[in-house]
Amino acid sequence: MAEAEPEAGAGGVGLFGGTFDPPHVGHLAVAANVRWALGLEEVLVVVANEPWQKAHLPVSPAGDRLAMVEAAVDGVAGVSASALEIERGGRSYTADTLAELDRRRPGRALHVILGSDAAAGLDSWERAEAVRERASIVVVTRPGAEGAQLPPGWRAQHLEVPRLDVSSTDLRERVAAGRPLDGLVPGPVVALIRERGLYAAGG
């Protein structure tokens, strides 16, 4: 007998931000499982415009990353792609995104979804205090980072999700080497990567 899904809407809105270069099945597992576990109305997969933590690294154009996320979440109940940070432009900071969501969805509880490795660095975030005041933190277990601890003063819910050991870095290297992405990346995303020539060697 299938498990009943918690009543949607009771837990507010989840904010799952990242570069998503490319999005993969691990990202979808996090978004879908956190939404179910907390009974969230929706999880927004927020595509960073200019991820401040990766300012020194090459990143695919925001429009391509958004298109891939839109393709990845299509048909996943309660999970949506968000262009909020791209529309705002410039470097992407969670404090700004939470403030904008507060304006657009007043009264909704906001939950920032993080891997335990990212959660360990919360104090280094831009306007970290504003993030702490506006949202609850949801920490999901990610491979290789199970022992990470939150900085003092932060409280979080901890959730275990299926441990799909998939890395966006490895996926980009797979494409460049001509190796398959099947089973690691949703089919529509694979089609977009091929169509747009993303991650190809020398590209």
User: What is the domain-level CATH number for residue 60?
Assistant: 3.40.50.620
Asked if residue 203 is part of any domain, the answer here is no
What is the C-alpha separation between 156 and 166, in angstroms, rounded?
24
Q: Which residue has the higher pLDDT, 141 or 139?
A: 139
State the virtual CA torsion across 39, 121, 17, 104 in degrees, nearest 10.
70
Tokens of 79: 């999970």
What is the C-alpha separation between 169 and 154, in angstroms, rounded?
29
Q: Is the pLDDT of residue 69 over 50?
A: yes
* Structural domain for 146, as ranges: 13-196
Asked if residue 39 is part of any domain, the answer here is yes
Can you give the pTM of this predicted structure?
0.89
Asked if residue 201 is part of any domain, the answer here is no
Q: Domains in the chain: how many in total?
A: 1
For the chain, the average pLDDT equals 88
Q: Are the CB atoms for 159 and 37 separated by under 8 Å? A: yes
pLDDT confidence bin for 117, thresholds 50/70/90: confident
pLDDT confidence bin for 7, thresholds 50/70/90: very low
Judged on CB neighbours under 10 Å (0-12, 13-18, 19+), 23 is: buried
Asked if residue 7 is part of any domain, the answer here is no
Name 95's Cβ contacts closer than 8 Å, sequence gap at least 6. Answer: 125, 126, 127, 128, 130, 131, 134
Q: How much is the average pLDDT of 82-90?
A: 96
Which range is most confident: 44-58, 144-158, 176-190?
Answer: 176-190
- pLDDT of amino acid 153: 86
Asked if residue 5 is part of any domain, the answer here is no
In this structure, of 83-92, 96-105, 157-166, the range with the lowest mean pLDDT score is 157-166
